[in-house]
Chains A and B, each alone.
Chain A
Amino acid sequence: MSQTAVVDGAPGSGEDALGHTGSVATRWLGVVVLIGAVALLAFGLVFSDPDVIQGDAVRLMYVHVPSAICMYLGVGALGLGSAVWLKRQTEFWDLLALAGAEIGALFTALTLLTGMLWGRPTWGVFWVWDARLTSTALLQVMLIGYLALRKLPGDATVRARRASITGLVIVLDLPLIHYSVEWWRTLHQGATISRLDPQIDGLMLFSLMLGIVVGALTFVWLMIHRFRLAHLEEQVEDRGLDAALDARRAEADRPPPAGDTPLVRTSP
């Protein structure tokens, strides 16, 4: 699953491959995630019992809750990366923000999707205008906007500055959105897990916890790979630039063709 970045025709470098997004550690992490996912499937679909009220739909929670947590982790990485970049202006924090936004957007979509699939049998509708759903949908749109902004070509520093200010606005806006929507619509159901009273059956709680651990590990795995991929992309960009510079320099060093005056030399 790891990707390799290759530069075509980069002069002066013996090896073309820049590197991999994977390493020994992430490969082991990947193996652990896969085993965890199988275990989660077994506990979520087979070992745990259906809920008294929600029936089999409760099994979606073992994916939905971890997705929501990973969504917050991604947004946290986006906020942290954006804020620190504005102070330090180093590539690391910019790429952390990018990886956080992209992986965060993925998990936001997963959260919305699993939530809707759960809502249909439980509430009878795919969507209700509840505070959490609404603010999650807005978060999704804002992350898409952020990623669209990042896709635009341009100078790396300029792009990073724009992106980090936008990222910070998104993170600052989230509490405003949350409170305004909650105030607007207060019919949502409260959090079940944070109370941790024995409303949840032992095996169900275990499945949920397993889901959270597997989800968090998946998040870490994805973040590392996305971060490294972004880093390699930057290097490819740099190498491409170096190659172009070298080519122009070589051109300038070459003597002009006979019969041609240096002043009107045309480029090939």
Chain B
Amino acid sequence: MWREFRLIAGKDLRIEARSRVVTNQILPFALLILVLFAFAIDPDRGLLARVTGGLFWIAVLLATVLAVQRSFGLEAADGNRDGLRLAGLEPGAVFLGKAAAIFVQLMALEAVLLLGVAVLYTADLGEPLLLLTTSVAATAGLATAGSLYGVLAAGLRVRETLLPLLLLPVVAPVLIGATQGFESALARTPGEGWPWTGLLVVFAAIYTVFGILAFGPLLEEA
């Protein structure tokens, strides 16, 4: 199981290292969202600084939709799904591998995005430990829920339009929890932020377990 997990995660990360879709397209897109938010919300009145946490996570959420679509778009081409299925791999391991690859990509994206808000929104990155914990827990939830819906939508002709509709309401708790965690970290009141990481961990745990169980049946259909 561990070997299969590393195989799948390594495969996806290697494809990314060679194709650079996340670095060259999804990351610039997320940074673009930060700039667009500044146009929409007057940067001079201090409003931007107060809503930095929420804007950051909205940008991550939209990037997640793209990353999930990319990850399962890879499997859609040339009958890769059949190959994946017939390779005799444990479906749970495939799920964890794909989720882990998305997790790594999103964490890298968040690191750059965090620099972005620090520079563009003059956010004060105090409490790095809370920022890191919130990011890890929230991204784990996004990657697992995203992979579950990614494989579900992968076989559909309308996947580009249906995936956001299915995924975004389900990850609403992640948006709320991560935003609260970030806002309290940026305001240097970590006491309010830590309880939210608990919610994020519970979310990630539920979707990890559910994903491992449901991935096999979902992968079988095409």
- Inter-chain CA distance A207–B172, complex, in Å, is 36
0/1 per residue, B51-88, Cβ < 8 Å to A?
00000000000000000000000000000000000000
Q: Which B residues are CB-close (under 8 A) to A146?
A: 166
0/1 per residue, A109-153, Cβ < 8 Å to B?
000000000000000000000000000001001101110110010
Q: Which A residues are CB-close (under 8 A) to B177?
A: 180
Q: Which A residues are CB-close (under 8 A) to B10?
A: none
Verify if B202 is at the interface (C-beta below 8 Å from A): yes
- Inter-chain CA distance A142–B172, complex, in Å, is 11
Residue contact B152 to A166, C-beta cutoff 8 Å: yes
Verify if A213 is at the interface (C-beta below 8 Å from B): no
Verify if B129 is at the interface (C-beta below 8 Å from A): no
- State whether A165 and B217 are in contact (beta carbons under 8 Å apart), knowing that A180-B176, A184-B176 are contacts in the complex: yes
Q: Which B residues are CB-close (under 8 A) to A180?
A: 172-173, 176-177, 199
Closest Cβ neighbor of B222 among chain A residues: A158
Option from B152, B180, B202 in Cβ contact (under 8 Å) with A184:
B180
Residue contact A169 to B180, C-beta cutoff 8 Å: no
The smallest C-beta distance from A145 to any residue of chain B, in angstroms, reads 4
Verify if A172 is at the interface (C-beta below 8 Å from B): yes
The smallest C-beta distance from B205 to any residue of chain A, in angstroms, reads 11
Residue contact B203 to A138, C-beta cutoff 8 Å: no
Residue contact A145 to B165, C-beta cutoff 8 Å: yes
Q: Which B residues are CB-close (under 8 A) to A158?
A: 155, 221
Centre residue among B169, B203, B218 by max chain A CB count within 10 A: B169
Option from B148, B155, B162, B173 in Cβ contact (under 8 Å) with A176:
B173
Question: Which residues of A from 186 to 223 have beta carbons under 8 Å from B?
Answer: none
Residue contact B202 to A176, C-beta cutoff 8 Å: yes
Closest Cβ neighbor of B199 among chain A residues: A180
Residue contact B162 to A148, C-beta cutoff 8 Å: yes
- State whether A165 and B165 are in contact (beta carbons under 8 Å apart), knowing that A180-B176, A181-B176 are contacts in the complex: no
The smallest C-beta distance from B119 to any residue of chain A, in angstroms, reads 29
Residue contact A142 to B169, C-beta cutoff 8 Å: yes
Residue contact B218 to A166, C-beta cutoff 8 Å: no
Verify if B41 is at the interface (C-beta below 8 Å from A): no
Verify if B120 is at the interface (C-beta below 8 Å from A): no
Q: Which A residues are CB-close (under 8 A) to B214?
A: 165
Say whether chain A's binding surface is mostly helix, strand, loop, or mixed. helix
Centre residue among A145, A165, A176 by max chain B CB count within 10 A: A176
Residue contact B152 to A141, C-beta cutoff 8 Å: no
- Inter-chain CA distance A158–B199, complex, in Å, is 33
- Inter-chain CA distance A146–B217, complex, in Å, is 18
Residue contact B199 to A173, C-beta cutoff 8 Å: no
The smallest C-beta distance from B137 to any residue of chain A, in angstroms, reads 13
Q: Which B residues are CB-close (under 8 A) to A149?
A: 162, 166
Q: Which A residues are CB-close (under 8 A) to B218?
A: 161-162, 165
0/1 per residue, B166-179, Cβ < 8 Å to A?
10011011001100
- Inter-chain CA distance A157–B199, complex, in Å, is 35
Verify if A73 is at the interface (C-beta below 8 Å from B): no
Residue contact A183 to B158, C-beta cutoff 8 Å: no
Residue contact A179 to B199, C-beta cutoff 8 Å: yes
Closest Cβ neighbor of B167 among chain A residues: A145
Q: Which B residues are CB-close (under 8 A) to A141?
A: 165, 169
Residue contact B217 to A161, C-beta cutoff 8 Å: yes
Centre residue among B156, B170, B199, B206 by max chain A CB count within 10 A: B170
Can you report 12 A-B residue pairs in the complex whose CB atoms are below 8 A from each other?
A: A141-B169, A142-B169, A144-B165, A146-B166, A148-B162, A149-B166, A158-B221, A169-B149, A173-B173, A176-B173, A181-B173, A184-B180
Interface residues of A (CB under 8 A from B): 86, 138, 141-142, 144-146, 148-149, 152, 155, 157-158, 161-162, 165-166, 168-170, 172-173, 176-177, 179-181, 183-184
Given A149-B162, A172-B210, A181-B176, 13 more pairs with CB closer than 8 A:
A142-B166, A145-B165, A148-B165, A152-B157, A155-B221, A158-B155, A165-B148, A165-B217, A168-B210, A176-B173, A176-B206, A180-B176, A181-B172
